[in-house]
């Protein structure tokens, strides 16, 4: 009698579970379709901005509004404006850079006054000032790019940021298994893919808010690298399921932003015509990083694997790996900060010229 009662209850509960699972699957499917269709709305937004610019641009200029829409090719305008001052700027040589003052005068770093000021500021200031970019979009062939400090700072920031996120995603299943979250592997992979997608979308945000708030793209790169060391320190400090989910989301958000923004940064710093070759040189860090970070993770994992089993279970399996990855991501963050300090003058000069062109 008891067995038949349990059988009836299980039969009655089965349709409810199926209905709930079907509803959840449909909602997830609709959400995924909405996310895929959302980027298709971008052309409509651009057309709307163009219409708004044609209809109300003069009104905003008379009212003194800061909302300015950009139609022209900013890089070409910037180059044309700089060419007007070519006589005063002169050639940019090895170990020298130029600063533009408010009255348009340009002072070289080799001048006695500025050189004396930088000499007194210490090694850090000299590192920031040495061979600094004079303008954005200047063409740098591969043979010149590999000799620039800015490129190697950028290379290390990518190597210690986006590449670590990629290696983390490749080891995510084993990480979840070692922390006793093997049943959540599918959820974690979905979480990583979703937040990586959102990170790629966020990489376009600086272009949409530049009329209200302008910040150098290398500065946005620094901000995008911040979640990575936080995530790995969190994973090293706690082996809970919540920490794993939060850490995975932060790593995915950061790496997604870096992957999408990297091409634009390469083009701006080293020239649009050479971006194909230069960016391919940059992403050589991905196979190198995959080898280095993967070997470190494998060595640590094998060191804590018992001889009776080929599977390592426990926080110790990836604790040292998380600490190592966290330290490397902090190094990448430091490199990105230095890159920002070295390039913000070029970005600010570019934005000032763009704004003056739009106003006049």
Q: What is the pLDDT of residues 28-50, one digit of tens each?
A: 778 777 766 776 676 666 667 66
**Given the structure tokens 């913000």, which residue do they identify?**
344
Q: What is the pLDDT of residue 171?
A: 93
Inter-residue contact 186 to 173 (CB < 8 Å): no
Q: Once rounded to an integer, what is the mean pLDDT over residues 119-123?
A: 53
pLDDT over 80 at 91, yes or no: no
Give pLDDT, residue 239: 82
Whether the predicted pLDDT of 104 surpasses 90: no
Average pLDDT over the chain reads 76
Look at residue 291 in the predicted model and tell me its pLDDT. Answer: 94
CATH 1.10.1530.10 is right for the domain spanning 142-359: no
The predicted structure's pLDDT at residue 116: 44
* Contact between residue 188 and residue 172 where contact means Cβ atoms under 8 Å apart: yes
Binned at pLDDT 50, 70 and 90, residue 106 comes out as very low
159: tokens are 């190597």
Task: Kindly report which listed range (157-166, 194-203, 208-217) carries the lowest average pLDDT score.
Answer: 208-217
- Which of left, alpha, beta for 85 (phi over 0: left; psi -120 to 50: alpha)? alpha
What are the boundaries of each domain within the chain? 96-130, 142-359
Rounded to an integer, the average pLDDT of 165-179 is 93
149-173 mean pLDDT: 93
pTM over 0.85: no
The pLDDT, as a whole number, for residue 266 is: 92
How many Cα atoms within 13 Å fall on the side-chain side of residue 178?
26
* Distance from C-alpha of 82 to C-alpha of 357, rounded to nearest angstrom: 12
pLDDT higher than 60, residue 113: no
> What pLDDT sits at residue 85?
44
CA distances, 51 to each of 41, 45, 190, 211, 243 (Å): 16, 10, 39, 17, 47
Confidence of residue 72 (pLDDT cuts 50, 70, 90): very low
- The pLDDT value recorded for residue 18 is 58
Res. 124: pLDDT tops 70: no
């Amino acid at each position: 009698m008891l067995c038949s009662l349990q059988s009836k209850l299980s039969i009655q509960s089965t349709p409810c579970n199926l209905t709930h699972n079907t509803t959840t699957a449909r909602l997830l499917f609709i959400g995924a379709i909405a996310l895929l269709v959302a980027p298709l709305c971008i052309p409509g937004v651009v057309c709307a901005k163009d219409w708004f610019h044609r209809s109300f641009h003069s009104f905003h200029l008379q009212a003194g509004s800061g909302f300015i829409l950009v139609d022209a090719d900013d890089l070409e305008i910037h180059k044309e404006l700089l060419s007007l001052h070519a006589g005063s700027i002169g050639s940019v040589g090895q170990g020298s850079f130029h600063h533009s003052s408010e009255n348009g005068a340009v002072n070289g770093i080799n001048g006695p006054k500025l050189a004396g000021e930088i000499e007194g500021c210490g090694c850090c200031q000299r590192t920031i000032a040495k061979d600094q970019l004079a303008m954005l979009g200047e063409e740098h062939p591969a043979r010149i790019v590999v000799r620039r400090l800015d490129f190697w700072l950028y290379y290390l920031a990518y190597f210690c940021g986006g590449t670590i996120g990629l290696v983390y995603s490749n080891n995510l299943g084993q990480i979840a298994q070692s922390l006793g979250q093997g049943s959540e592997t599918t959820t974690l992979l979905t979480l990583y893919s979703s937040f990586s997608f959102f990170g790629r979308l966020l990489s376009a945000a600086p272009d949409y808010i530049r009329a209200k708030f302008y910040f150098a793209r290398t500065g946005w790169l620094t901000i995008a690298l911040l979640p990575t060391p936080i995530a790995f320190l969190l994973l090293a400090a706690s082996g809970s399921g919540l920490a794993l989910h939060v850490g995975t989301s932060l790593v995915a958000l950061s790496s997604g932003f870096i992957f999408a923004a990297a091409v634009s940064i390469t083009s701006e710093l080293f020239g649009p015509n050479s971006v194909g070759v230069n960016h391919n040189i940059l992403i050589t860090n991905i196979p190198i990083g995959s080898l280095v970070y993967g070997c470190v993770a494998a060595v640590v994992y094998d060191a804590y694997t018992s001889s009776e089993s080929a599977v390592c279970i426990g926080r110790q399996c990836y604790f040292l790996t998380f600490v190592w990855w966290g330290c490397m991501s902090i190094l990448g963050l430091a490199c990105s900060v230095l890159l920002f300090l070295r390039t913000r003058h070029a970005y600010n000069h570019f934005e000032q010229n763009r704004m003056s062109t739009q106003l006049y």
